A and B are shown apart, each in its own frame.
Chain A
Amino acid sequence: MSAADLADFRADVRAWCRAHIPSDWRAAQTGATDAEFVAFQQAWFQELRGAGYAVPHWPAEWGGGMSVAQQTVLYRELAAHDAPRLVLAFVAIHHAAATLLAAGTDAQRERHLPAILDGEIWVQGFSEPDAGSDLAALRTTARRQGDAYVVNGQKVWASGAAHADQCLLLARTDPAAPKRRGISYLLMDMRSPGVEVRPIRQATGESHFCEIFLDDVVIPAGNLVGPEHDGWRVAQETLGTERGMTMLELAERLGNGGFRWLVEACARPGRDGTAPLDDSRVRDRLAELETEVTGLRALCADLVANDAPGPADASIVKLYYSELLQRMTDFGAQIAGPAAHTVLRKPLSSGWESGAWVLDFVGSWEWTIPGGTSEIQRSIIGERGLGLPREPKAV
């Protein structure tokens, strides 16, 4: 796409943003009920879908087909115009779609990709109480019985499970095999008998993480993704491909939403009449953060554009994003002062840098812990990216 075409595209997105982003969504989503949140998310998804902006990263045949340059423009403009985020559809349009596109059968793709566009909500059922960083130690079992698997076990940290229609499930199909070789990847209908969801209240006071209890849940064998017992590899590959796509949006959010609010907060005069921006140390820190977020955006764009990324590139981006988010929101909390502690709720449907700085800061651990903690990412970067020797195995 030529620079002129890209400029036209930018103008289209801007015009669309001005016409379609509800000006009152932050107020309406602050303190909203679960039902209001879900209804708003579903409506916003269809609004974006109507413009062709909901799944720009999908292949053209399924309703996407935007170049990386276009996606970057799209996400930048959505962030700059403070659009709500697709919080509820996140796992569906990224993790589920990446899995189905890379490893699913034609029947699975045809069943689910159009359904996702119509609002099917997905959740990831990977972690377990005793399988967090050591995910491959998972113990949920899937026993083959005729044309189905019978699943028993418990999943935890399943974000959005309370609203989900479908679940990406990792379960052990061969208990005798070495731990990474006996796992299968399954698609589970959350309305199946034997599925019970219990929300967990998290550090921010919200409860979008859940436990999922599985008691003799029957999953048709046709819902197996990839070869039986090979689910670990499927999960590793799809997690990698998905990482870049999600980060592109999040990096633009941090650069054009988070950083902008930070500058605005710094320019606001306090009770003594001076603004934080009058302080040279504040200006220095802001400039440092702007530089870092610019570096992050370049890293993300490169990761997405690269057909053959390095084995640790996704980990580098995840680690850098999550720790930068933490630094930025921490700084926001310091700038906003005690008053930020009176912001008791952040708007639902907002990003990780909503401007409710203390809640954003507390919430930033949702990035440094899940999806492989920062410590796990550093080990991956050291071992796969730099070729350093592995940890000795436990005896």
Chain B
Amino acid sequence: MPEEHAELHAELRAVVRDLLAKTGPDAAPDWRTLARSGWLGLEAPEELDGAGASFAETAVVLHEFGRAAARGPYPAVAALALGALTLLEPSPGRDGLIEATVAGRTVPILALDGEAEHVPFRLLRTATGLALHGAARFVQEAPAADRLLLPALDPAGTPVLVDLPARTAGLTGSAIPVLDETRTFGEISAQGPTVPEDSVLRFADEAKAVRRLHDRAAVALACDSLGSAEAMLDATVAYAGTREQFGRRIGSFQAVKHLCADMLVKVEVARHLVGAAVRAEAGEGDPVAAAMAKSHACAAAVEVAGTAMQLHGGMGYTWESGIHVHLKRVTLDRELCGSPAAHRRRLADRYPALARGEAETYTSR
């Protein structure tokens, strides 16, 4: 990373951390404050009131949201919805939506299915025009939506994004309650609402669009898990450095110290894999880097949170300690948008060709 980027990221990180600390664990940061901060539009083009930055900057905020186990639709809107909008061909509809999102006037939610990787909706041509059918489950922050961006296949089978107000006749949303109280999820289903032609937004690169949407969601969750894992490591080190048993601080016992060392190693490896995926996502994208980051960082975060609970002893198991908040959050991160096993299946799909020598080197990036 160039030095000026590192400095900008450090600055951004500090401001976000400060805001989330002031907000506290039980509330979502104020949406107008987020809009004024410019964080909603980090990736939006400057001519549409955005910062013209990249996913690398959004990732800094996502990371801090994970660290604080923060609430609210920011990750869903900034990483997923705005990320999807930036993959579209410029059009008055798209451009207006980006401007309104950046200003905080609208909260668009991407109806990506968090449970299964597929294009959840279909556009059918009827006598009265286009009609939308389909359903997506585990849509992140769906209850917060005032607009929905629905990934669909158009009548020709081409992936498009359908933009509809959340309150549209024929479009229903229902909340899906989950154990992780820091986030909300919903099921969106379309039973044939009529879709105006200008609500059908086209991707700039239709061949790659669906992969990019899923990879973006996966990498965003990996950032969240990495932030959470860091918070759990810090909390555990602080606790082990003060809590005394048998007349010694427990962190001086090798049994405890070595588990903390393993947590740090896991966090460091995850940080490097997530860093590579974030850099790729800020450019053309790299499905291999995304699959590695998602499968590894999200699994590591669950292990780190589990070790954190174990090393906090009885206190760690209490509701008050808050460790369960991170454990539930990262366990859900791990299962959403492709389990570690699902991402590893995609990695392994490359191996038969690699074994036949159809690739020059194996990990040549």
Alpha-carbon separation in the docked complex, A381 to B348 (Å): 33
- Of all chain B residues, the one with the shortest Cβ separation from A280 is B345
Q: Is the CB of B347 within 8 A of A287?
A: yes
**Is B268 an interface residue, CB under 8 A from the partner?**
yes
Interface of A is mostly: helix
**Contact yes or no, B273 A379, CB < 8 A:** no
A170-199 at interface with B (beta carbon < 8 Å): none
Q: Which of A45-53, A98-106, A126-134, A292-300 forms part of the interface with chain B?
A: A292-300
- B239-275 contacts to A (CB < 8 Å): 240-241, 248-249, 251-252, 254, 256-258, 260-262, 264-265, 268-270, 272-273, 275
Q: Is the CB of A295 within 8 A of B362?
A: no
Report chain B residues within 8 Å CB of A383.
257
Q: How far, in Å, is A268 (CB) from chain B's closest CB?
A: 8
Q: B39-51: contact bitstring with A at CB < 8 Å (1 yes, 0 no)?
A: 0000000000000
Query: How close is B362's CB to chain A, nearest CB, in angstroms?
Result: 5
Would you call A277 and B345 a contact (CB within 8 A)? no
Determine whether B317 belongs to the interface, using a CB cutoff of 8 Å to chain A. no
- Check: A284 CB closer than 8 A to any chain B CB: yes
Bound-state CA distance A390–B248 (Å) is 10
Tell which of A287, A293, A297 touches B345, judged by Cβ atoms closer than 8 Å: A287
From A89-97, A116-124, A236-244, A258-266, the one touching the partner chain is A258-266
How does the 8 Å CB contact mask read for A194-226 relative to B, with 1 for contact and 0 for none?
A: 000000000000000000000000000000000
Number of interface residues of B (CB under 8 A): 43
Query: Taking the complex as formed, is B352 at the interface, i.e. its CB lies under 8 A from any CB of chain A?
Result: yes
For B356, list chain A residues within 8 Å (CB). Answer: 267
A20 to B275, CA, bound (A): 36
Which residues of chain A (295-331) have a CB below 8 Å from chain B?
A: 295-299, 302, 312, 316, 319-320
* Across-interface contacts of B254 in A (CB, < 8 A): 375, 378-379, 391
Tell whether A39 is near chain B: CB-to-CB under 8 Å. no
Complex CA–CA separation, A302 to B256 (angstroms): 28
Q: Which of A299, A385, A390 is close to B272, meaning CB atoms less than 8 Å apart?
A: A299
Please tell me which one of the listed residues B240, B295, B348, B362 contacts residue A260 in the complex, with CB atoms under 8 A apart. B362
For A382, A391, A392, the residue with the greatest tally of chain B CB atoms inside 10 Å of its CB is A382
Contact A295 B351, beta carbon cutoff 8 Å: no
Chain A: CB-nearest residue to B359: A260
- Give the docked Cα–Cα distance between A267 and B347 (Å): 15
Knowing A284-B348, A288-B344, A381-B264, the reply to whether A320 touches B269 (Cβ < 8 A) is yes
- Shortest distance between the CB of A380 and any CB in chain B (Å): 8
Q: Chain A residues near B233 (CB, 8 Å)?
A: 386
CB-CB under 8 A from B344, the residues of chain A are 283-284, 287-288, 291
Query: For residue B102, which residues in chain A have a CB less than 8 angstroms away from its CB?
Result: none
Residue pair B273, A298 in contact (C-beta under 8 Å): yes
How distant is the Cα of A294 from the Cα of B249 in the complex, in angstroms?
A: 36
Smallest CB-CB A-B distances: 9 pairs: A267-B355, A287-B344, A283-B348, A382-B257, A298-B272, A381-B261, A388-B251, A287-B347, A295-B269
Q: Which residues of B contact A (CB under 8 A)?
A: 233, 237, 240-241, 248-249, 251-252, 254, 256-258, 260-262, 264-265, 268-270, 272-273, 275-276, 292, 295-296, 341, 343-345, 347-348, 351-352, 354-356, 360-364
Add 8 more A-B contacts to A76-B361, A266-B351 (CB < 8 A): A260-B354, A277-B355, A287-B344, A287-B345, A293-B363, A295-B269, A312-B264, A382-B261
Interface of A toward B, CB cutoff 8 Å: 76, 80, 255-256, 259-260, 263-264, 266-267, 277, 280, 283-284, 286-288, 290-299, 302, 312, 316, 319-320, 375, 377-379, 381-383, 385-392
